[in-house]
Amino acid sequence: MYKYDEYDQQMVDTRVAEFRDQVRRRLAGDLTEDQFKPLRLQNGLYLQLHAYMLRVAVPYGTLNSAQMTLLGDIADKYDRGYGHFTTRQNIQYNWIKLEDTPDILAELAKVEMHAIQTSGNCIRNISSDQFAGAAADEIVDPRPYAELLRQWSSFHPEFLVLPRKFKIAVIASEKDRAAMRLHDIGIRMVRNDAGEIGAQFYAGGGMGRTPMIAPLIRDFVPLDQLITFSEACLRVYNRYGRRDNKYKARIKILVHELGRDEYVRQVEEEFAHLLTQPIEPPLAELERIKAHFTGPAYDSAASDDLDLTDPDFRLWVERNTHAHKQAGYVIATVSLKPVGGIPGDATADQIRLMAKLAKDYSFDELRVTHAQNIVFPHVKKADLYTVWQALDEAGLSTANLDTVGDIIACPGLDYCSLANARSIPVAQKISERFGSAKRQAEIGELKLKISGCINACGHHHAGHIGILGVDKKGLENYQLLFGGSEGADTSLAKIIGPGFTEDGVVDAIEKATEVYLANKQGEERFLDTYRRIGMDPFKEAIYG
């Protein structure tokens, strides 16, 4: 993975000094809260329901064990012993003090970490495929390109005061494991007919109040024009994105209101102009970054055998591991969704344990997924049982990846001042109702996502089953949606009817799974059956 050089280190150190000074000026009364708020947001610091919340960046979801260990230590030293992994591959701490934050950022900087632009009206953390560098189906590792864009977007002087936040995802496979088309800009690295690598650009996707799937805006951008093209896209947005209404300020609204063709025309015009400016890094810079991602020193003699006699281990292997491009290795996902637990939360001890396991058994590398789980990307099959046993002891061996138990949930009204309803208790009840391994196996792949408000941080629009918490005359109420998908077949979930109480929505989901099982053909997933038979059979069963 990427290692800072002296320049990168200087940038994060400078940022720490800048923020320390900003806090000093705030506490001295030289800055009002109105003036300070955008500044602290650009360092990931929110004022939340119970305290300040700090969102630490995990660039494209990749980190090493030293970094992961520090994240655990920060939870103990500055928070209340746990952290929350988010739907954008970052980590959040819920009980932070403003007066501690400069010191926290200083400690993060020592292990090449930061909280730069994890909030605010600027370009946010660039996300990627959690299996990057390990999956057999990728054209290239997408992460060098994400790193190139990360540096370009960090403190970009023209784009720090955008109309609204801006989220970019970069993938490099046909299979979309990062919900790429639900981003403001989504990039897929591809190979053209001449065999050259380049980037497909999509723009104008997003969730929230008005979910939209990003249309394709450029078939192929050559590698030596990536930054210039990105800059053109952002400049058009900065100039013409709406600033009159916070809820209409994302680029998806601009693309929608201009129409895709007109947005493309404006971008191409700006692009043609920017090509006359020497703003593109030389390809040597991309090569320099790529050199950090050459892949681990695999043991070419690693055995492909796996002893699956332990039935619990077997179930975990079947559910939570994926084929690795290298023989003798697997990609292992650690579920942070224990039955009845809080999705995405991990204790400091668990975080440090995962760090140690990654160091010993995954070439010192971990990933955070946008489904709020952790991945060990390169585990030798011969080591897998040892890893699993250690996870099992720590309550981290839940075998439920991509099943109904693998729930994605935002923090909701228990933590977030923007929320209308609590999301975690709903997740816990669903998790317990469907807690048995037998039931989960029966239902199979089912991506269930819960948001506590329309901001959709739980990505409910992209759930096979989505739940949206609302405030109905002061009481929590839950809307149920079916049919969303974030893969290459991206679709937006549709609401099925009137909302439910907390218990009501759990019952409704149970009825929905019964309808699915009664109608399932062949190997259909819930999503496939729903797409084939439509909403009506489900509505009838649920509403009677």
Partner 1 sequence: MKILTGNDLKTGAVIWWTGVGWSLDVNESADVGDHGAALAAREEGAQNVVGAYVVDGEKTAEGIRPAHIKERIRALGPTVRLDLTREASNPAAADWVI
Partner 2 sequence: MVDVQFRFRDDETVNDPAVTVDSFSEQSNATAVRLEPGDDARELLPHLDRLSLIEVSFPAWTDGRGYSSARILREAGYAGEMRAVGDLVIDMLHHLRRCGFDAFAPDKALNEEDARTAFDRWENVYQATVVDGRPAIWAKRHPA
Task: Give residues in contact with partner 1 (CB under 8 A).
Answer: 26-27, 29, 33, 47-52, 80, 95-99, 342, 413-415, 417, 419, 422, 424-425, 428, 474-476
285 touches partner 2 (CB under 8 A): yes
Please choose which of partner 2, partner 1, none residue 7 contacts, taking the beta carbon within 5 to 8 angstroms, the exact cut-off set by kind: partner 2
Within 247-276, which residues bind partner 2 (CB under 8 A)?
273, 276
* 495-509 residues labelled b (16+ CB within 10 A) or e (exposed): ebeebbebeebbebb
For residue 206, the SS3 value is: strand
**To which H or E segment does residue 408 belong?**
strand 408-409
Binding to partner 2 (CB under 8 A): which residues in 137-196?
Answer: 151-152, 154-163
| HSE toward the beta carbon, residue 402, CA cutoff 13 A | 16
242 binds, among partner 1, partner 2, none (CB under 5 to 8 A by kind): none
Query: Which residue among 4, 20, 39, 338 contacts partner 2 (CB under 8 A)?
Result: 39
413 binds, among partner 2, partner 1, none (CB under 5 to 8 A by kind): partner 1
402-436 burial, b at 16+ Cβ within 10 Å, e below that, comes to: bbbbbbbbbbbbbbbebbbbbbbbbbbbbbebbbe
- Closest CB to partner 1 among residues 41, 180: 41
Identify what 154 binds: partner 1, partner 2, none; CB under 5 to 8 Å per kind.
Answer: partner 2
244 binds, among partner 2, partner 1, none (CB under 5 to 8 A by kind): none
The dihedral through the CA atoms of 112, 60, 69, 295 has a sign that is: negative
Given 3, 33, 194, 277, the residue binding partner 2 (CB under 8 A): 277
Strands 374-380 and 366-368: antiparallel
DSSP letters spanning 68-105: HHHHHHHHHHHSSSEEEE-TTS-EEEEEE-GGGHHHHH
C-beta of residue 39 within 8 angstroms of C-beta of residue 22: yes
Q: Distance between the two ends of the chain, CA-based, in angstroms?
A: 54
In whole angstroms, give the CA distance from residue 380 to residue 388: 12
Q: Shortest CA distance to 452 belongs to which of 488, 486, 477?
A: 477
Beta carbon of residue 98, minimum distance to partner 1 (angstroms, whole number): 6
- 419: partner contacted, choices partner 2, partner 1, none (Cβ within 5-8 A by kind): partner 1
Residues touching partner 2, count (CB under 8 A): 42
Which partner, partner 2, partner 1, none, binds residue 97 by CB below 5 to 8 Å per kind?
partner 1
38 near partner 2, rule: CB under 8 A = yes
How far is 287 from 144, CA to CA, in rounded Å? 9
* CB of 419 vs partner 1, minimal distance in Å: 8
436 touching partner 2, by CB under 8 A? no
Q: Smallest gap, in angstroms, from Cβ of residue 374 to partner 1?
A: 21
* Interaction of residue 35 with partner 2, rule CB under 8 A: yes
CB of 46 to partner 1, least distance (A): 10
